[in-house]
């Protein structure tokens, strides 16, 4: 176990971030994950890191703040917090986030408080989020188990056993088996995704049409000059990194005004510490016009109304149903894993790398080319075992992209 955990920390530093000698690392972590954060810091220093700067968080204190703090604080972002994120981003640091939380940590919190905090943070930290979305900095998000999360994934299982089961599942998802070869396996995996990405770019689809037995019937127009991306991203200085570990997806940006039809979620969604389930979207000319949900409808509404752009779409991602994470048959209640088990869409901001020359464009230029902008980016899963995706080429040919939930290309 100790050997696997150390290998995981090394993998995040060497492949997830590809940390460069002399580079500063900002490491965000829940206090519950402190032992693993220390291993990541040690691996970073082994790689020649200039300094590891810690950014701690705590689920319990965060919940207390949302429930009990003065209402005015949710419209404010203190100067130190703005400087911490924005100044480090401007310096070109690497950024590692350990994402581990109770899926329902904000259950019972007033939606208005969550919305106001999100809007205030989006505005105050815009330089940081811009650097992240544009790949100006190397960044990586990964997870390790904590008891509250493991108990949700494996209900009824004793706490220690649930945590170990979640460790085992995460190790499998990130290709760690204890033989010390995870870095090599990841490089081969990224090469496989790259080959598929190139094939999709060669096809230059005009649109994609999704259908399945849940009721999804959705047409997604793609912008002129769109590009498919995969797990490996690159900063302007040439530093390759993997933003999500694990990753199984190949993704691009839809045209913000070109999404039409209905799409049904195939899995629950965890967003801002609340579970949303049994939902679907009705979309017209790119905009969400209806979004009923059996569970958490008010939180879903908050997510797609946080600003104007949140009601439009920013990502279309392809993940085979027969994939390593999907085949675990585990509902993680964590988007980092669940989005890599199924095809998914995201409403909110688009990644500029999904457009030719996009990383060098202004927000206005990106929108003029059809890419969406928002302070939000929320992935939800739509993939099923019977999902069909048909691509329409520029010359009007129909090409099967997915048949029965898996790639047909």
Domains of the chain from N-terminus onward: 2-173 (3.40.1830.10), 204-230+247-407 (no CATH)
Q: Can you tell me which residue has the tokens 């188990």? A: 145
State pLDDT tens for residues 350-385: 999 999 999 989 999 999 999 999 999 999 999 999
User: What's the mean pLDDT in 261-267?
Assistant: 98
State pLDDT tens for residues 117-144: 999 999 999 999 999 999 999 999 999 9
Q: Residue 79 pLDDT > 90, yes or no?
A: yes
Burial (CB count <10 Å: 0-12, 13-18, 19+), residue 211: middle
Collapsing DSSP to helix, strand or coil, 285 comes out as coil
Measured in residues, the chain has a length of 409
Phi and psi angles of residue 103, each rounded to the nearest 5 degrees, phi first: -60, -20
Q: What is the dihedral of CA 317, 321, 322, 324, to 10 degrees?
A: 60
Of 139, 169, 132, 166, the C-alpha closest to 377 is: 132
pLDDT value of position 396: 94
Collapsing DSSP to helix, strand or coil, 153 comes out as helix
User: What's the mean pLDDT in 194-208?
Assistant: 96
| Res. 147 pLDDT band, cuts 50 70 90 | very high
Tell me what the pLDDT averaged over the chain comes to.
Answer: 96
pLDDT value of position 176: 96
Of 347, 332, 331, the C-alpha closest to 380 is: 347
Of 144, 149, 202, 208, the C-alpha closest to 173 is: 144
Q: How far apart are CA 407 and CA 323, in angstroms?
A: 11
Task: Characterize 18-37 residue by residue with b for buried, 16 or more Cβ atoms within 10 angstroms of its Cβ, and e for exposed.
Answer: bbbeebbbbbbbbebbeebb
pLDDT value of position 274: 95
| Res. 154 pLDDT band, cuts 50 70 90 | very high
The share of the chain scoring above pLDDT 90, in percent, equals 98
Burial (CB count <10 Å: 0-12, 13-18, 19+), residue 120: middle
Q: Which DSSP string do the residues of 213-282 spell out, in sequence order?
A: TTS-EEEEE--TTB--B-SEEE-TT--EEESBSS---EEE---TT-EEEEEE-SS-EEETTEEEEEEEEE
Task: Characterize 225-249 residue by residue with b for buried, 16 or more Cβ atoms within 10 angstroms of its Cβ, and e for exposed.
Answer: ebbbbbbbbebeeebebbbbbbbbb
Q: How far apart are CA 406 and CA 409, in angstroms?
A: 9
């Amino acid at each position: 176990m100790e050997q696997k955990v150390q290998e995981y920390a090394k993998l995040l530093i060497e492949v997830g971030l590809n940390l460069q000698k002399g580079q500063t690392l900002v490491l965000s972590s829940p206090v519950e994950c402190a032992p693993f954060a220390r291993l990541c810091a040690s691996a970073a220093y082994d790689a020649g890191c200039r300094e590891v700067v810690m950014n701690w968080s705590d689920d319990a204190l965060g919940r207390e703040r949302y429930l009990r703090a003065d209402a005015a604080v949710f419209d404010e972002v203190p100067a130190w917090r703005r400087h911490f994120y924005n100044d480090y981003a401007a310096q070109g640091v690497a950024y590692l986030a350990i994402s581990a939380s109770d899926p329902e940590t904000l259950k019972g919190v007033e939606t208005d408080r969550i919305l106001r905090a999100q809007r205030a943070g989006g505005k105050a930290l815009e330089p940081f989020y811009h650097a992240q979305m544009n790949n100006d900095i190397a960044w990586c998000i990964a997870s390790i188990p904590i008891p509250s999360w493991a108990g949700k994934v494996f209900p009824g299982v004793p706490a220690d056993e649930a945590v170990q089961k979640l460790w085992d599942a995460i190790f499998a998802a990130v290709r760690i088996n204890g033989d010390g070869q995870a870095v090599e396996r990841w490089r081969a995996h990224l090469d496989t995704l790259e080959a598929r990405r190139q094939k999709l770019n060669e096809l230059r689809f005009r649109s994609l049409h999704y259908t399945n037995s849940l009721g999804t019937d959705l047409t997604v127009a793609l912008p002129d000059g769109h590009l498919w991306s995969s797990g490996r991203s690159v900063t302007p200085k040439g530093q390759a990194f993997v933003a999500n570990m694990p990753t199984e997806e190949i993704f691009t940006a839809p045209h913000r005004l070109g999404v039409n039809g209905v799409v049904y979620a195939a899995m629950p969604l965890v967003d801002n510490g609340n579970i949303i389930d049994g939902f679907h979207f009705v979309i017209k000319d790119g905009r969400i016009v209806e979004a009923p949900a059996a569970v958490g409808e008010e939180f879903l509404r908050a997510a797609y109304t946080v600003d104007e752009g949140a009601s439009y779409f920013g990502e279309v991602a392809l993940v085979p149903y027969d994939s390593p994470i999907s085949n675990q048959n585990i509902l993680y209640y964590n988007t980092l894993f669940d989005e890599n088990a199924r095809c998914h869409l995201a409403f909110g901001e688009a990644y500029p790398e999904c457009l030719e020359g996009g990383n060098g464009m202004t927000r206005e230029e990106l929108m003029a080319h059809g890419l969406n902008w928002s302070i939000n980016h929320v992935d939800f899963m739509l993939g099923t075992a019977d999902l069909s995706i048909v691509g329409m080429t520029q010359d009007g040919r129909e090409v099967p992209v997915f048949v029965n939930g898996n790639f047909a290309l």
